[in-house]
Amino acid sequence: MSMFCFQCQEAAKGTGCTIKGVCGKSDDLSNMMDLLIYVVKGLSVLTQEGEKKGITDEKIGHFIMRAMFSTITNANYDKDAIIERVHEGLELKRNFRARLISEGVIQEKNNLHDCANWDAKTIEEFEGKNILIGVLSTENEDVRSLRELVIYGIKGIAAYTEHAYNLGHENKEIFQFIQKAMASVTDNTLSADDLVALVMETGKFGVDAMALLDGANTGRYGNPEITEVNIGVRKNPAILISGHDLRDLEDLLEQTKGTGVDVYTHSEMLPAHYYPFFKKYDNFAGNYGNAWHRQRDEFATFNGPILFTTNCIVPPLKDATYTEKIYTTGSSGLGGSKHIPERQKGGMKDFSEIIEHAKKCAPPKEIETGKIVGGFAHNQVITLADKVLGEVKAGNIKNFVVMAGCDARMASRSYYTEFAQKLPTDSVILTAGCAKYRYNKLPLGDINGIPRVLDAGQCNDSYSLVVIALKLKEALGLDNINDLPIVYNIAWYEQKAVIVLLALLYLGVKDIHLGPTLPAFLSPNVVSVLVEKFGIGGISTVEEDLATFLN
């Protein structure tokens, strides 16, 4: 075993990757990410000591946010970039620790966790340490499971918080909780009940983080509105932008304006088309392709350069024709690809190099034609509330089925396409995230003008689905969200889906079904607790699940 990672749904054999990540992550990169998490834990332990005397450093909060985001599945494959972050974190820790000592908060020799005191400066020291402090260093399986559930939830919170931060929005309470939680997972005195309570608190701050990002996005770009998005191509050279960061898209569109270069979205960037702000750009051409895992085929036919703004990278094969056309920015990274630096305060990122690259490329090859409809975030659905409620009360809409979450490569995910196809025609799908690509192009029709697939947007827009559910509960005069005609059949892949799940649990939603498999990081005992308290379950066959869910 040269590594161990089980944070995503594709964990090898349903237990964990031990030689190389199914995602493409090498063992040395995985171990270096473990070390980065260890540095974050150390910083967090120290900040908890500092807070006892009112000593804080906001740089640490910002660093932890970006460090946690960069370890999300499929976000960063650049080992050198991760090593640089380890160095940065250790320097912050060195300085903050010295400050605490000088002000008498802690002693040079103390009883704090090793992660707070450990220091190193060479790669050899890093590689000697990182094999000792990974996931399996917590020997108790149940404690390990609950700790990792918190950590993966924090990774999701960090992702949403960074997007909001890039738009000038932050919530210091979220930063403080992240540090408290990361310190708490090093505390061997916490009981299982304490850790379960921490898991639920993580869900609470997940709701806060999604609300923060929703406010940041809608405050700058307007409320998403019903929009038809072109999935064909034009005849201009173009840039394909992937990931989730809307501020990066804004900078790119502004700089490509009038250059003759079009911009297309891919995968999770599709919902950008729903925001009124972006409709002013004539060169915002449409969406190209499908979910992230199909990029090896679709990037080859796109012809132009590709910009990754966040996670959802699939490392290209050695003979890929598009390798030299990949650019990364933000928390994303890919060894050998050009990385575009952060924007200066008050300015934009410099996308001139990728724009000049695009001008030399052929236009995209057409792989499909037509349009898809989306933009059903909470504000838009609430605008249609009377019409929706009318159809519910008339019996024309019998059920809402939340099919949010992630898509991925496993053949078993065809289940979600078949499930959507076999739903009764009086059922409406509420979706967000790239899971929608399993059914958003199917001819599922509408119910008296209401489309049977209501796409709220990106995975973080699962917040919209929660708001819609709460408004529906209020409108129908119900006391409990679980009395709604809503069932939850959620697909998951990475850690942003984990925080969405924890947010739903915090809000009291029960009987959520998660697939295509339950997380490998949940021990049997932890699964039992989730089943007993929240009715969490897996999936079986489409026929069996339809009978269960719609009963």
For residue range 402-425, list pLDDT tens digits in order.
Answer: 999 999 999 999 999 999 999 999
Residue 34: other Cβ atoms inside 10 A: 22
Alpha-carbon distance 106 to 127, whole Å? 28
Both 128 and 251 in one domain: the answer is no
* Sole residue written with tokens 């932050």: 170
Alpha-carbon distance 465 to 377, whole Å? 7
In degrees and rounded to multiples of 5, residue 291 shows phi and psi of -70, 165
Question: Which element (helix H / strand E) includes 147?
Answer: helix 141-166
Residue 150 near residue 198, CB atoms below 8 Å: yes
Counting the structural domains of the chain, the total is 3
The closest of 320, 344, 347, 348 to 334, measured between CA atoms, is 320
Over residues 151-180, mean pLDDT: 98
SS3 39: helix
SS3 518: coil
Task: For residue 45, give every residue at least 6 positions away whose Cβ sits within 8 Å of its Cβ, in sequence order, or none.
Answer: 112, 113, 115, 116, 183, 186
Residue 149 near residue 522, CB atoms below 8 Å: yes
Both 545 and 412 in one domain: the answer is yes
How much is the pLDDT for 115? 98
Q: What is the dihedral of CA 306, 307, 310, 314, to 10 degrees?
A: 20
Both 346 and 391 in one domain: the answer is no
Domain boundary at 320, 342, 359, which?
A: 359
* CATH code of the domain in which 337 resides: 3.40.50.2030
Q: What confidence tier does 111 reach under pLDDT thresholds 50, 70, 90?
A: very high
The closest of 160, 242, 139 to 460, measured between CA atoms, is 160
Give yes or no for residue 313 having a pLDDT over 90. Answer: yes
Task: For residue 298, give every residue at least 6 positions away whose Cβ sits within 8 Å of its Cβ, in sequence order, or none.
Answer: 266, 288, 289, 290, 367
SS3 420: helix
The residue ranking higher by pLDDT, 345 or 516, is: 516
Going along 273-421, which residue ranges are E strands? 284-287, 306-308, 326-329, 333-334, 338-340, 371-374, 399-402
Which pair of structure tokens corresponds to residue 304?
A: 């132009």
Distance of alpha carbon 462 from the chain centroid: 11
Give yes or no for residue 310 having a pLDDT over 90. Answer: yes
Residue 338 counted as domain residue: yes
Residue 249 counted as domain residue: yes
Both 351 and 436 in one domain: the answer is no
Question: Regarding beta strands 486-491 and 333-334, do their DSSP bridges make them parallel or antiparallel, or are they unpaired?
Answer: unpaired
Both 504 and 544 in one domain: the answer is yes
Task: For residue 468, give every residue at least 6 positions away whose Cβ sits within 8 Å of its Cβ, in sequence order, or none.
Answer: 378, 381, 382, 430, 456
Q: What confidence tier does 550 reach under pLDDT thresholds 50, 70, 90?
A: confident
For residue range 361-383, list pLDDT tens digits in order.
Answer: 999 999 999 999 999 999 999 99
SS3 227: strand
Q: What is the dihedral of CA 503, 505, 511, 513, to 10 degrees?
A: 40
Give yes or no for residue 460 having a pLDDT over 90. Answer: no
Q: What confidence tier does 439 reach under pLDDT thresholds 50, 70, 90?
A: very high
Residue 290 near residue 267, CB atoms below 8 Å: yes
Which pair of structure tokens corresponds to residue 540?
A: 């079986």
Alpha-carbon distance 69 to 76, whole Å? 9
Both 402 and 517 in one domain: the answer is yes
Residue 326 counted as domain residue: yes
Residue 146 near residue 154, CB atoms below 8 Å: no
Both 242 and 350 in one domain: the answer is yes
Over residues 252-271, mean pLDDT: 98
SS3 490: strand
Alpha-carbon distance 502 to 471, whole Å? 20
Residue 219 counted as domain residue: no
The long-range contacts involving 541-548, CB below 8 angstroms and separated by at least 24 positions, are 542/415, 542/418, 542/419, 542/422, 543/422, 545/419, 545/489, 545/513, 546/419, 546/422, 546/423
User: Per-residue DSSP letters for 388-399?
Assistant: HHHHHHTTS--E
For residue range 475-485, list pLDDT tens digits in order.
Answer: 889 999 999 99
Which pair of structure tokens corresponds to residue 56?
A: 């804080």
Both 126 and 2 in one domain: the answer is yes
Distance of alpha carbon 342 from the chain centroid: 20
Q: What confidence tier does 6 reach under pLDDT thresholds 50, 70, 90?
A: very high
Domain boundary at 137, 154, 174, which?
A: 137
Host domain of residue 6: 1-137
Alpha-carbon distance 519 to 493, whole Å? 9
* CATH code of the domain in which 52 resides: 1.20.1270.20
Residue 159 counted as domain residue: no
Q: Which amino acid is at 541?
A: T
Alpha-carbon distance 230 to 418, whole Å? 25
How much is the pLDDT for 106? 97
Both 265 and 331 in one domain: the answer is yes
Give yes or no for residue 7 having a pLDDT over 90. Answer: yes
User: Per-residue DSSP letters for 230-275?
Assistant: E-S--SS-EEEEESS-HHHHHHHHHHHTTTT-EEEE-GGGGGGGGS
Rounded (5°) CA angle 40-211-45: 20
Domain boundary at 85, 104, 137, which?
A: 137
Residue 303 counted as domain residue: yes
The residue ranking higher by pLDDT, 345 or 117, is: 117
The closest of 472, 471, 438 to 455, measured between CA atoms, is 438
Both 406 and 520 in one domain: the answer is yes
SS3 491: strand
